[in-house]
Chain A
Amino acid sequence: MVSGGKFLQAVHFKGVIMTFFFQSLLSGLLTGGVYALAGIGMSVVFGVMNISNFAHGDLMMLGMYMAYFAFTLLHIDPYLSLLLIIPTAFLFGFLIEKVFIHRIIHHPHQNQILLTIGLGLIMSNTALLAFTSDPKILTTSYSSSAVTIFGGISLSVPLLLSFVITCLITGILFLFLSKTTTGLALWATSQNREAAQLMGINVSKMSAIAFGLGTALAATAGALIAPTYYIHPMAGHTFLLKAFTICVLGGLGSVVGAGVGGVIIGVVESMSSTYLSSDWKDVVVFIIFLGVLLFRPQGLFGKKGEQ
């Protein structure tokens, strides 16, 4: 026979456990939304150009600074500034491809990787010289506001907004790739570069567009996380390995896969900090990464034989 007090305690305890679980699940889901966008950008570049872009984190960092300066100098809300950031970043990526990456597109993988590492070093250290190493904090009126649902689970307002925007952008991107001529050409290039070329697709232009898209997506991810994170020349490095993991998890080149992959990584991180320990969560993510590589190298959403 359970006494009344103990029973109430047990109910309360169960309630705490449930709140705990959902709090962890939802905050992981929302953080995962931003990871997803970074992963999708990486995946587009990977798919079309077959390049591991190690400068992806640094491109994200540039997005953060763009959002910061749009907010502090032009007084534009970070979410609104995306309208400015997306085209600027696209152009920047397009030019980077034309000037640098284009020249080594037929070189071995490792040279491509090292080139992107070099470009990343140039970007982050130029930022260090220009903006100093003082982290910038983008404080909006809603930076630390939250809504409470189900009487105990709090959700960050800026992360919720970011999540909605991520879904929107992913949707638009999906439509672009599946419905427009350029999108279909990009998709064809990612399926088979040589065949696409034979069919009259300008594959070198497609590469530049893909890198522009990847850059725009990375910068968007940076801008979206800026209000809830801090902005620093090396800030992108945290997200680089996550973006790789997401992109492999979803299947190289798969937009939807990377989207889902991002959310999964967000939730896994959150759950492992809650139920395991926060200092081991990255290890859990890497073990999942290796597991996917070994047992399903085409990724969760890739077709067999696409590797």
Chain B
Amino acid sequence: MKQIAIIAVIAGIAAVLPLVIGESPYFTGVLISVLMMAALASAWNILGGYAGQYSFGHAAYFGAGAYTTMILISKFNLNPILSMVAGIVVACIIALVTGSIVFRLRGHYFGLASIAVAEIVRLSALNFDFTGGAQGILLTDVSLWGVDLNSKTPFYYGMLLVLVVTLGIALSLRTSKTGYYLQAIREDQDAAASLGINLAFYKNKALLISAALTSVLGSLYAVYIRFIDTSAVLDLRLSIEIILTAIIGGVGTVWGPVLGAVLLVPLAEMLRSNVIGDALVKQGMVSETSGLGVFLKENLAHAHVLVYGIITVLCILYLPKGILGLLGRKK
């Protein structure tokens, strides 16, 4: 009950946040990315964290949603909401096929097989013509029931809604029969099977929920950016980013993935836009022409992925249970 209250309070704060910060497309854009990654990591967590099935191929479901939506809108001028529903169907079909292959495997094999399936999806989208192939799909204008989709506001609330739904599902799973079964599967598959738990059924159930939510986020992303190609929505990097967010935040917990996104997405954006280097130079703490100044302004901009790598390594070494695990220990 307390957790539901927390979700409600946070959702309430998030809902009024745009009104407080006012018209700032840049900040709203970053917040949309935070909400999207929080929801993606939470959706992944249902399969990876609760059932212990570490999928390295979640980009496939994100891409399935994004591609289905964009194809239906651009070719058939279908309503974005209906296209999104179609995206869920496609993602679930891919999930069922994937599940029937990868759930027979364990450990390393499961992770590698999920990568292979996602790569097959990516290469297919790249090679077929109806997906726009290497050129991707570009939409110039989208509207829904007369609402202007050029504005960021609908997407902010859309992402927030999906996040709240995902967290709600995650929370209710924790105390439900399915949730207990998934945890039993995570702890010991053989023991779970000997207790009479239908492994395939519950694993697939978790995968379907996770894939459907991920696909909705893919659809939202596609209509928000209005351009997709395989490197933007089907790349292995996206799958890895999702897992990193969940693990660095705290895998298997309700709030870990959200915390991961709240910390990592703004950090990545700060590194990308080099605000730290710029701020140091602008504050006059470092001279622009000095060696350090030039390094901060020129080289640090090239090094943001490097910094991201270092943070990953440090987190895995020193916070193996994620940031939430560290907080939990201190209590």
Contact = CB atoms under 8 A, between A and B. Distances in A.
Interface in A105-134: 107, 109-111, 113-115, 117-122, 125-126, 128-129
B123 A283 contact: yes
A289 interface: yes
A111 B112 contact: no
A109 B111 contact: yes
A241 B108 CA distance: 13
Contacts of B126: 279
B120 interface: yes
A104 interface: yes
Interface string B271-314: 00000000000000000000000000001001101101111110
A184 interface: no
A287 interface: yes
Query: Would you call the interface of chain A mostly helix, strand, loop, or mixed?
Result: helix
Query: Would you call the interface of chain B mostly helix, strand, loop, or mixed?
Result: helix
B117 to A, nearest CB: 7
A115 B317 CA distance: 8
A236 to B, nearest CB: 14
B105 interface: yes
B170 to A, nearest CB: 18
A104 B111 CA distance: 18
A174 interface: no
Interface string A245-271: 100100010000000000000000000
A128 B251 CA distance: 32
B313 A122 contact: yes
Nearest to B303: A129
Nearest to A117: B240
Contacts of A279: 123, 126-127
A80 B95 CA distance: 49
A279 B104 CA distance: 29
B90 interface: no
A142 interface: no
A248 B312 contact: no
A290 B309 contact: no
A109 B306 contact: no
B224 to A, nearest CB: 27
Interface string B120-131: 100110110000
Given A113-B111, A286-B119, A100 B317 contact: yes
Residue of A100, A122, A245 with most partner-chain B CB within 10 A: A122
B247 A111 contact: yes
Contacts of A120: 309
B109 interface: yes
B113 interface: yes
Contacts of B320: 104, 107, 111
B108 A114 contact: no
Given A111-B316, A117-B240, A129-B306, 7 more contacts: A104-B320, A109-B107, A114-B316, A115-B313, A118-B313, A121-B312, A129-B303
Interface of B: 48, 54, 56, 101, 104-105, 107-109, 111-113, 115-117, 119-120, 123-124, 126-127, 240, 243-244, 247, 251, 299, 302-303, 305-306, 308-313, 316-317, 320
29 contacts: A100-B313, A107-B316, A110-B251, A111-B247, A113-B54, A114-B247, A115-B312, A115-B313, A117-B244, A117-B312, A118-B310, A119-B313, A120-B309, A122-B309, A126-B306, A128-B306, A129-B303, A245-B116, A280-B127, A282-B119, A283-B124, A286-B116, A286-B120, A287-B120, A289-B116, A290-B113, A293-B105, A293-B116, A297-B105
